[in-house]
Structure 1
Amino acid sequence: MSRIIVALIWLLHFLPLSILAPIGSGFGRLLYWVIVPRRKVVLINLRLCFPELSEAERCALAKRHFAVTGRSMLERGLAWWASAERLRATVRIDGLEHLQALKAAGRPVLLLVPHFVGLDMAGTRLSLEGDFVSVYSPQKDKVIDRWLHHGRSRFNDQLLLSRHDGVRATVKAMKSGRPLYYLPDLDYGRKESIFVPFFGVQAATITGLPRLARLAGATVVPCVVRMKPGGEGYVLDLGAPWADYPSDDVEADTRRMNAWLEGVVRTMPEQYYWVHRRFKTRPEGEPRIY
């Protein structure tokens, strides 16, 4: 089945984005009705994070979320097989000068990359600009795993580390001049996490961002990808480097990360990764949410 799915994605990637995008949106709307467990997760997350919305408004937002998620799944074929020229035309980068200035100054860089639906497209596009390091989690499905790995490593000399490689290898790579493409905003369990608010809900959040920044002497640069409507492609926004980060307070730094992320999510709530059980790990004594 996985090979059939990959073959279909390969065929679809030849289509212009103006045609591929509505096909992906329709596919996502179908998933809303078919994948009931994930639909429930999305609706629970939206109820927790947007209590000011009515139930009808949250359902409409969930449907838009599945539509853009479906797009991202089918458009992943561009990240896997499209030419460098087509990728450059599909994903515009704003703020690249921030990254270039830090690299020219010899400063280690830590890219803060939240889980928006265009994540993989942005990573492949950014790899055209040089050599990066990222932490890669192998997938259970070996066929999908192969192509995900391919999409993230096909241009230049990308370094993909596993979580078992440890902090030392990541810090060494950053100090050698490779910016880290870092995704710290999921629920990774209780280990190495603290509870800080996310949309007013206590969320288990890893403290890797301030800790890695301190160990590597790295500057944090926010990295946000926005999927544009129809065939307009994507915009990858590299924001201004964070000042006064990290501080000497790990909890305050982690709160700052979540508060910043919440602000960005509110600008495009349908594009955040709501299918993830973000509030799975609970403080002692609290009941399960999902």
Structure 2
Amino acid sequence: MTQYQSRFDTSLKKQHFLPKYWGTWLLLGLLFLFSYLPIKWRDCFATFIANKLYDTKFLNKRKKIAFINLGLCFPEYNEADKDALMRENFRAVTQILLSLGELAFRSQAFLIKRINFIGEHYIKEAEAQDKAIIFLAPHCYGLDFAGAAAISARGYPLSSMFKDYNNPIFDWFVTGYRTRFTKLAGKGTLYHRSEGLKPAIKSLRDKAHFYYLPDEDHGRENSIFTDFYATKKATLPVIGRLAKLGRAVVIPVYTSYNANTSKIDVICHAPLQNFPQGDELQQTELMNRAIEKVIDENRAQYMWTLKLLKTRPEEGVDIYK
């Protein structure tokens, strides 16, 4: 078995218990308490908080970014459409944030019951064919529930990237729950994004699946411009190479908090057929079409507040000013 040991250290040190970190520890304590509250009650409380905060100045910057993204991607949306989508967006992210402690503190059986896993048969079919899987997962607020509670907690081997939070307590907390169930499969790892794709390829060749977030803007130098809804987006053209070198199938996956059932819907679409095919541009375009399709499962739960479109085809343009 080929195991990749990350060089990124998230272990706790003595200095992490100094007073400067007490606020972070208090927050984790609140997440622990929220993880054991009745879910319906917690969801109602999250909705109350979201409605109160939505119109405050605190969120103006993020709302501006989201409205710009939505306007470029969906020119048919008027201001009322954008506002309605973002109100739902903020309600969902608040409900998910208050649920986050479940990933660290609740049992494996509890987490499995929290997930409505749609399309799991695509994973079983790939494994039956001895195929590694690249889970193509755009940035939605519940993505950790897909990786930890839907995939890892069911014993599927999984590797993924980690980007530090510049807070060692959060780094320890997040890496802890993301790797909590790795032992069930006996393989898979978590590594820092700065280490590149080499550990992902090693893991895939060892039949440990890879949870890949493909939609961040990594700048002009590393990207090509591809269609993304009604606009152009700077996109890393690596999915074809990754699938080929890792000998893997690509399964798009999306996570959406269902306010009606108070469960997390994790939705797998069918694997991309005959992939990779064509050149890098064609492969990246195919990837973006798949990303759009899963986002359309629930547009309101995508991270529109990220600067997804910062790098524009026209140099020197800053759309988020």
Please indicate, yes or no, whether the TM-score normalized by the shorter chain is above 0.5.
yes
Q: Secondary structure at the match of 1:275?
A: coil
Q: How does 1:213-228 map to 2 (within 5 A)?
A: 213-228=243-258
162, 168, 181: which one aligns with 1:155: 181
- What SS does the corresponding residue of 1:180 show, helix, strand or coil? strand
Alignment check: 8 A CA contact 2:43 2:262 kept: no
Judge which range, 160-169 or 56-65, deviates more.
Answer: 160-169
Check the 8 A contact 1:29/1:70 in 2, yes or no: no
Match of 1:140 among 161, 166, 169: 166
Cα distance change, pair 219–288 in 1 and its aligned pair in 2 (3 A): same
Deviation, 1:104, is: 2.9
Q: What is the number of residues matched between the two proteins?
A: 290
Q: How does 1:5-154 map to 2 (within 5 A)?
A: 5-32=27-54, 33=56, 34-125=58-149, 126-130=151-155, 131-154=157-180
Greater alpha carbon shift after TM alignment, 20-29 vs 123-132: 20-29
For 1:240, which of 270, 277, 288 is the aligned residue?
270
In the TM superposition, what is the alpha-carbon distance from 1:230 to its structure 2 partner?
4.2
AA of the residue aligned to 1:196: T
Q: Which structure has the larger Rg over C-alpha atoms?
A: 2
1:66-104 residue CA offsets vs partner (Å, 9 max, x unmatched): 111111111111112111111111112222222122223
> 1:21·1:230 contact (CA, 8 Å) conserved in 2?
no
- Cα offset for 1:262? 2.0
Q: Which residue of 2 aligns with 1:193?
A: 223
- CA shift for structure 1 position 45: 1.4
Shift of 1:52: 1.0
Match in the other structure for 1:181: 211
- CA deviation digits over 1:120-177, x for unaligned, max 9? 1111111112221111111112222211111101113341011232322211110101
- The one-letter code of the counterpart of 2:78 is S
Contact (CA 8 Å) 1:188, 1:206: kept in 2 or not? Answer: yes
* Aligned partner letter, 1:87: L
The match for 2:4 is none
Q: Give the 3-state SS of the residue equivalent to 2:100 in structure 1.
A: helix
The secondary structure found in structure 1 opposite 2:196 is helix
Measure the CA separation in 1 of the matches of 2:53 and 2:214.
27
C-alpha distance in 1 between matches for 2:170 and 2:93: 17
Quick check: 1:213–1:220 contact (8 Å CA) kept in 2? yes
CA contact (8 A) 2:96 2:141 kept: yes
Q: Is the 8 A contact 2:252 2:291 kept in 1?
A: no
Contact 1:18 1:230 in 2 (8 A): no
Match of 1:3 among 18, 21, 25: 25
How many angstroms does 1:286 deviate by?
5.2
Q: Measure, in 1, the Cα distance between the counterparts of 2:119 and 2:215.
A: 22
Letter in 1 for 2:103: A
Distance change >3 Å, CA 191–CA 73, structure 1 → 2: farther
Moved more, 223-232 or 105-114: 223-232
- Answer whether contact 1:24 1:75 (CA < 8 A) is retained: no
- TM-superposed CA distance for 1:231, in Å, is 4.5
CA contact (8 A) 1:134 1:161 kept: yes
1-side partners of 2:238 and 2:48: how far apart?
37
How far apart are the structure 2 equivalents of 1:201 and 1:255? 13
Instruction: Specify the SS of the correspondent of 2:90.
Output: helix
Please list the CA deviations of residues 226-266 of structure 1 after superposition, one character each: whole Å capped at 9, or x if unmatched: 21114430121222221111113111111122122223323
Which amino acid is the alignment partner of residue 136 of structure 1? Answer: F
SS state at 1:212 partner:
helix
Aligned counterparts, 1:156-171, within 5 A: 156-157=182-183, 158-171=188-201
Q: Say whether the 8 Å CA contact 1:22–1:230 is kept in structure 2.
A: no
Q: 2: CA distance between counterparts of 1:66 and 1:234?
A: 16
Q: Check conservation: 1:17, 1:233, Cα contact below 8 A.
A: no
**Separation (CA, whole Å) in 2 of partners of 1:187 and 1:28:** 28
